[in-house]
Amino acid sequence: MGLSHNLNMRSIALASLLVAATLLSAQSTLIAEKRYVGTIVAVVNDKIITDEDLQRRAAAPLSEALKKYKGRELQRRAEAIFKNVLDELIDRQLLVQKAHIIIEKNPYVMEEIEKDLDSFIGDAVAEVGSLSKFYEIAVKEGINPTEKKVALKDDLMVERLLSEYVYRKINVSPRDVREYYQEHKDEFVKEKSVKIAQIMLLFSSYSSKKERGPGEGQ
Protein backbone atom coordinates (compact mmCIF):
# COMPACT_ATOMS: atom_id res chain seq x y z
CA MET A 1 0.00 0.00 0.00
CA GLY A 2 2.73 2.41 1.00
CA LEU A 3 4.92 1.43 -1.95
CA SER A 4 2.03 1.69 -4.39
CA HIS A 5 1.06 5.05 -2.97
CA ASN A 6 4.62 6.31 -3.32
CA LEU A 7 4.81 5.07 -6.91
CA ASN A 8 1.56 6.80 -7.76
CA MET A 9 2.76 10.04 -6.21
CA ARG A 10 6.03 9.82 -8.11
CA SER A 11 4.15 9.12 -11.36
CA ILE A 12 1.88 12.10 -10.79
CA ALA A 13 4.84 14.34 -9.96
CA LEU A 14 6.71 13.15 -13.03
CA ALA A 15 3.69 13.69 -15.23
CA SER A 16 3.25 17.17 -13.78
CA LEU A 17 6.88 17.99 -14.52
CA LEU A 18 6.52 16.71 -18.09
CA VAL A 19 3.38 18.80 -18.66
CA ALA A 20 5.03 21.87 -17.16
CA ALA A 21 8.13 21.33 -19.30
CA THR A 22 5.99 20.87 -22.41
CA LEU A 23 4.01 24.05 -21.70
CA LEU A 24 7.19 25.98 -20.99
CA SER A 25 8.78 24.70 -24.17
CA ALA A 26 5.69 25.59 -26.21
CA GLN A 27 5.54 29.05 -24.64
CA SER A 28 9.23 29.63 -25.35
CA THR A 29 8.75 28.48 -28.94
CA LEU A 30 5.79 30.83 -29.40
CA ILE A 31 7.77 33.74 -27.95
CA ALA A 32 10.76 32.92 -30.14
CA GLU A 33 8.57 32.62 -33.24
CA LYS A 34 6.76 35.84 -32.42
CA ARG A 35 10.01 37.65 -31.87
CA TYR A 36 11.50 36.25 -35.09
CA VAL A 37 8.43 36.94 -37.24
CA GLY A 38 8.11 40.40 -35.76
CA THR A 39 11.53 41.44 -37.08
CA ILE A 40 10.75 40.46 -40.68
CA VAL A 41 9.29 43.30 -42.76
CA ALA A 42 9.64 41.73 -46.22
CA VAL A 43 10.66 38.49 -47.91
CA VAL A 44 12.26 38.70 -51.35
CA ASN A 45 12.35 35.17 -52.73
CA ASP A 46 14.59 33.38 -50.19
CA LYS A 47 16.02 36.53 -48.60
CA ILE A 48 14.50 38.46 -45.72
CA ILE A 49 14.54 42.16 -44.92
CA THR A 50 14.40 42.81 -41.20
CA ASP A 51 13.16 45.70 -39.13
CA GLU A 52 16.80 46.31 -38.19
CA ASP A 53 17.72 46.72 -41.88
CA LEU A 54 14.86 49.17 -42.30
CA GLN A 55 15.74 51.20 -39.20
CA ARG A 56 19.42 51.38 -40.15
CA ARG A 57 18.73 52.61 -43.69
CA ALA A 58 16.04 55.07 -42.57
CA ALA A 59 18.12 56.58 -39.75
CA ALA A 60 19.58 59.48 -41.76
CA PRO A 61 16.35 60.76 -43.40
CA LEU A 62 14.46 60.29 -40.12
CA SER A 63 17.06 62.39 -38.31
CA GLU A 64 16.55 65.18 -40.84
CA ALA A 65 12.76 64.92 -40.52
CA LEU A 66 12.99 65.22 -36.73
CA LYS A 67 14.80 68.54 -37.14
CA LYS A 68 12.16 70.00 -39.47
CA TYR A 69 8.77 68.60 -38.48
CA LYS A 70 6.63 67.86 -35.44
CA GLY A 71 3.36 66.20 -34.53
CA ARG A 72 1.20 64.74 -37.28
CA GLU A 73 3.41 66.09 -40.04
CA LEU A 74 6.41 64.32 -38.53
CA GLN A 75 4.40 61.10 -38.29
CA ARG A 76 3.30 61.44 -41.92
CA ARG A 77 6.87 62.09 -43.06
CA ALA A 78 8.20 59.16 -41.02
CA GLU A 79 5.65 56.78 -42.54
CA ALA A 80 6.59 57.97 -46.03
CA ILE A 81 10.30 57.55 -45.27
CA PHE A 82 9.82 53.99 -44.02
CA LYS A 83 7.74 53.11 -47.09
CA ASN A 84 10.27 54.55 -49.52
CA VAL A 85 13.20 52.94 -47.75
CA LEU A 86 11.47 49.56 -47.73
CA ASP A 87 10.78 49.88 -51.46
CA GLU A 88 14.46 50.71 -52.02
CA LEU A 89 15.60 47.71 -49.97
CA ILE A 90 13.29 45.38 -51.92
CA ASP A 91 14.46 46.78 -55.26
CA ARG A 92 18.08 46.43 -54.21
CA GLN A 93 17.57 42.84 -53.10
CA LEU A 94 15.96 42.00 -56.44
CA LEU A 95 18.91 43.56 -58.25
CA VAL A 96 21.41 41.72 -56.04
CA GLN A 97 19.73 38.39 -56.74
CA LYS A 98 19.65 39.07 -60.47
CA ALA A 99 23.29 40.14 -60.42
CA HIS A 100 24.32 36.89 -58.72
CA ILE A 101 22.45 34.86 -61.33
CA ILE A 102 23.97 36.66 -64.31
CA ILE A 103 27.37 37.96 -63.19
CA GLU A 104 28.50 34.81 -61.39
CA LYS A 105 28.36 32.96 -64.72
CA ASN A 106 31.28 35.06 -65.96
CA PRO A 107 34.52 34.14 -64.11
CA TYR A 108 36.41 37.03 -65.72
CA VAL A 109 33.94 39.63 -64.43
CA MET A 110 33.86 38.00 -61.00
CA GLU A 111 37.66 38.16 -60.86
CA GLU A 112 37.53 41.89 -61.65
CA ILE A 113 34.94 42.44 -58.95
CA GLU A 114 37.07 40.60 -56.39
CA LYS A 115 40.05 42.77 -57.35
CA ASP A 116 37.97 45.93 -57.00
CA LEU A 117 36.71 44.72 -53.62
CA ASP A 118 40.22 43.99 -52.36
CA SER A 119 41.43 47.33 -53.65
CA PHE A 120 38.61 49.20 -51.93
CA ILE A 121 39.21 47.46 -48.61
CA GLY A 122 42.97 47.92 -48.98
CA ASP A 123 42.51 51.66 -49.48
CA ALA A 124 40.23 51.86 -46.43
CA VAL A 125 42.76 50.00 -44.28
CA ALA A 126 45.62 52.17 -45.54
CA GLU A 127 43.63 55.29 -44.71
CA VAL A 128 43.27 54.33 -41.03
CA GLY A 129 46.77 52.84 -40.71
CA SER A 130 46.28 49.13 -40.08
CA LEU A 131 43.83 46.25 -40.39
CA SER A 132 43.36 46.06 -36.62
CA LYS A 133 42.56 49.77 -36.51
CA PHE A 134 40.12 49.30 -39.37
CA TYR A 135 38.25 46.59 -37.44
CA GLU A 136 38.37 48.63 -34.24
CA ILE A 137 36.72 51.62 -35.94
CA ALA A 138 34.13 49.38 -37.59
CA VAL A 139 33.15 47.80 -34.27
CA LYS A 140 32.87 51.21 -32.59
CA GLU A 141 30.51 52.37 -35.32
CA GLY A 142 28.40 49.23 -34.99
CA ILE A 143 29.51 47.83 -38.35
CA ASN A 144 30.13 44.15 -38.93
CA PRO A 145 33.17 44.08 -41.28
CA THR A 146 32.23 40.70 -42.74
CA GLU A 147 28.65 41.76 -43.48
CA LYS A 148 29.91 45.07 -44.85
CA LYS A 149 32.26 43.26 -47.21
CA VAL A 150 29.41 41.09 -48.50
CA ALA A 151 27.21 44.17 -48.99
CA LEU A 152 30.01 45.98 -50.81
CA LYS A 153 30.52 42.99 -53.11
CA ASP A 154 26.79 42.95 -53.84
CA ASP A 155 26.94 46.67 -54.69
CA LEU A 156 29.82 46.08 -57.11
CA MET A 157 27.93 43.24 -58.77
CA VAL A 158 24.79 45.35 -59.13
CA GLU A 159 26.85 48.20 -60.56
CA ARG A 160 28.38 45.84 -63.13
CA LEU A 161 24.97 44.39 -63.97
CA LEU A 162 23.49 47.84 -64.63
CA SER A 163 26.56 48.93 -66.57
CA GLU A 164 26.67 45.87 -68.83
CA TYR A 165 22.99 45.14 -69.36
CA VAL A 166 21.09 48.38 -68.75
CA TYR A 167 23.08 51.58 -69.28
CA ARG A 168 24.68 50.43 -72.53
CA LYS A 169 21.28 49.66 -74.02
CA ILE A 170 19.87 53.09 -73.25
CA ASN A 171 20.02 55.20 -76.39
CA VAL A 172 18.33 58.59 -76.25
CA SER A 173 18.16 60.26 -79.66
CA PRO A 174 17.67 63.99 -80.34
CA ARG A 175 14.18 63.12 -81.53
CA ASP A 176 13.39 61.51 -78.18
CA VAL A 177 14.60 64.65 -76.43
CA ARG A 178 12.40 66.88 -78.61
CA GLU A 179 9.35 64.69 -78.08
CA TYR A 180 9.89 64.65 -74.34
CA TYR A 181 10.21 68.43 -74.31
CA GLN A 182 7.01 68.86 -76.34
CA GLU A 183 5.11 66.56 -73.96
CA HIS A 184 6.46 68.26 -70.82
CA LYS A 185 6.67 71.92 -71.83
CA ASP A 186 5.00 73.08 -68.64
CA GLU A 187 7.88 71.69 -66.59
CA PHE A 188 10.38 73.84 -68.45
CA VAL A 189 8.43 77.11 -68.43
CA LYS A 190 9.34 79.73 -65.85
CA GLU A 191 7.08 82.59 -64.90
CA LYS A 192 8.10 85.98 -66.19
CA SER A 193 9.82 88.10 -63.63
CA VAL A 194 11.64 91.39 -63.41
CA LYS A 195 14.86 91.85 -61.53
CA ILE A 196 15.61 95.28 -60.19
CA ALA A 197 19.10 96.34 -59.30
CA GLN A 198 20.13 99.53 -57.59
CA ILE A 199 22.23 101.93 -59.61
CA MET A 200 23.91 104.70 -57.66
CA LEU A 201 24.55 107.94 -59.52
CA LEU A 202 26.75 110.62 -58.01
CA PHE A 203 25.63 114.15 -58.84
CA SER A 204 27.93 117.12 -58.50
CA SER A 205 26.81 120.33 -56.80
CA TYR A 206 28.69 122.35 -59.43
CA SER A 207 26.86 123.53 -62.53
CA SER A 208 29.97 123.40 -64.76
CA LYS A 209 33.57 122.18 -64.88
CA LYS A 210 34.78 125.73 -64.45
CA GLU A 211 33.20 125.98 -61.00
CA ARG A 212 34.87 122.72 -59.93
CA GLY A 213 38.41 123.03 -58.61
CA PRO A 214 41.35 121.17 -60.23
CA GLY A 215 41.74 118.72 -57.32
CA GLU A 216 38.08 117.78 -56.94
CA GLY A 217 36.59 114.59 -58.32
CA GLN A 218 33.94 114.12 -60.98
Would you say 160 and 103 are in contact if contact means Cβ atoms under 8 Å apart? yes
With 60 as the cut, is the pLDDT of residue 157 above it? yes
Return all residues near 54 (Cβ < 8 A) that are at least 6 apart: 41, 82, 85, 86, 89
Give the pLDDT confidence of 5-50 residue by residue, as tens digits: 443 444 444 444 343 334 334 433 333 333 344 488 899 998 899 9
Number of domains composing the chain? 1
Determine, yes or no, domain membership for 154: yes
Q: What's the rounded mean pLDDT across residues 182-201?
A: 62
pLDDT attached to residue 171: 72
pLDDT for 143: 82
The whole-number pLDDT of residue 62 equals: 92
| More reliable by pLDDT, 204 or 47 | 47
Is residue 127 domain-resident?
yes
The pLDDT, as a whole number, for residue 136 is 86
Position 56 in a domain: no
CA distances from 10 to 5, 22, 38, 165, 171 (A): 9, 18, 41, 73, 83
* Residue 24 domain-assigned (yes or no): no
The answer to whether residue 122 sits within a structural domain is: yes
pLDDT score at 213: 57
The answer to the question of residue 18 being in a domain is no
Range of the domain at 164: 104-168
Q: Quick check: is 44 in a domain?
A: no
Q: Could you tell me if residue 111 is inside a domain? A: yes
Distance CA 98, CA 210 (A): 88
